[in-house]
Amino acid sequence: MSEKVKLYINKKEVPYSRQNMIKAIYNFIPYLSIDDLTILGNDINSTKEQIRHNEQKSIEEGKNIPIQSNRYDT
């Protein structure tokens, strides 16, 4: 079962965008406990490391793709 999430800022529903999501997150931070913030920080760090790993893997895989000549360059 999927849950529907709506994003509101100043009692107005706003479209999902990176900027709007960041604003909503920042507004919730003061209400979180130390434990919540610790878990959130750990989750953020884990996600950053996974993104870095995936980016590095993609770069390495890209180096192994042979350069193909344009067949119309004759």
Q: Which residues pair with 12 in a beta bridge?
A: 9
Per the structure, the complete domain to which residue 31 belongs is given by: 15-55
Q: Is the dihedral of CA 19, 23, 29, 31 positive or negative?
A: negative
11-66: pLDDT as tens digits: 888 888 889 889 888 989 999 999 999 999 999 999 999 999 999 999 888 888 77
- For residue 38, being part of any structural domain is answered with yes
- For residue 28, being part of any structural domain is answered with yes
- For residue 45, being part of any structural domain is answered with yes
Q: What is the per-residue pLDDT for 16?
A: 85
- For residue 19, being part of any structural domain is answered with yes
**3-class DSSP state of 13:** strand
- For residue 24, being part of any structural domain is answered with yes
- For residue 60, being part of any structural domain is answered with no
Residue-averaged pLDDT of the chain: 87
- For residue 70, being part of any structural domain is answered with no
Alpha-carbon gap, residue 2 to 4, rounded angstroms: 7
- The number of folded domains in the chain is 1
pTM of the model: 0.63
- For residue 20, being part of any structural domain is answered with yes
